Amino acid sequence: GSVMTMYSGDFVEVQGTIQFSINYVQRLREFHIFVAECRDLAAVDPKRSRSDYVKSYLVPDKANLGKRKTSVKKKTLSPTFNEILRYRVRMEYLRTQTLILSVWHHDTFGKNSFLGEVDVELSKWDFDHTQMNYLALKAKVGEIHIWVKECKNLPLIRATIDFVLPDTSRKSRQKTRVLRRTVEPVFNHTMVYDGIGEADLTEACVELTVWDRDRLASNLLGGLRLGAGTRSYGALVDWMDSGPYEAALWDRMMASPSEWVEDVLPLRMLSSARAAL
């Protein structure tokens, strides 16, 4: 529950407000979120130009409706959006969801920084209320940040890929940038998975794999899996097979919320968790 979030080695305190309204258009069977503006956002880095946007998603979203984003607004701590984010969804399903609106700083090099969020429990929401809401942004609970720093003593490498299992969809796949002609690539790339509850940490597994990629083929060089057990939501699965050092790092992370934990781990060959890959 810390109010601090990591950005390129600096800490940014969550502050500011967001102005929005929500409406369900029965004729279209659409849920509309009108994002008006944000005010007094945290300054990520005074030396960099501002580039901020708002992202929406529903939880637990078992229908996989996905996320929506506003356009990016630059050079202001109080961006005005005046944009509508739309979900085509039935009201009875919408009533089972919680709306999350989060504000992000967009960085050209891919290190997007979390600036705060608000949540709206739609089961109790009066949809006749379509006036503007002014809410203070708050710190996020339920995110995993994976900072891939570097690899050493590899064959010539071109990319790494990351998953949080059991989600094997393309939406869960994140990649570093491609580095060529080096056996010790330095990535310094952060991957973020949000919408994860504390209880999910014992049921899920982070898989990091390192690949040699070219235009014709992709060859797995090795990987690792960070997790706590052997079962995922009651099912015995072959990909919950973390070794002692991998499991120890995961345990340290769970015991140290809002803090970075670090280790150097050996790559190993992994059993196939995703035949599609």
The CATH superfamily label for domain 17-136 reads: C2 domain (2.60.40.150)
CA distances from 234 to 129, 167, 237 (A): 41, 15, 9
Q: What angle do CA 240, 163, 199 make, to 5 degrees?
A: 60
The matching CATH number, chosen from 2.60.40.150, 3.40.50.620, 2.60.40.420, 2.70.70.10, for 143-255 is: 2.60.40.150
Spatial CA neighbour of 3 closest among 257, 198, 261? 257
The pLDDT score that the predictor gives to residue 229 is 79
Segments in the chain below pLDDT 50: 1-10, 273-277
Q: Domains of the chain: which residue ranges?
A: 17-136, 143-255
**pLDDT tens-digit map of 66-111:** 889 999 999 899 999 999 999 999 999 999 999 999 999 887 665 6
The distance of Cα 40 from the centroid of its chain, to the nearest Å, equals: 23
The whole-angstrom separation of Cα 29 and Cα 118 is 24
Strand positions, DSSP E, 96-197: 98-105, 113-121, 133-136, 143-150, 159-165, 174-175, 186-194
Q: Looking up tokens 């990351």, which residue turns up? A: 162
Backbone angles phi, psi at 236, to 5 degrees: -80, 120
- What does pTM read for this prediction? 0.57
Q: Do the first three CATH levels of 17-136 and 143-255 match, i.e. the same topology? A: yes
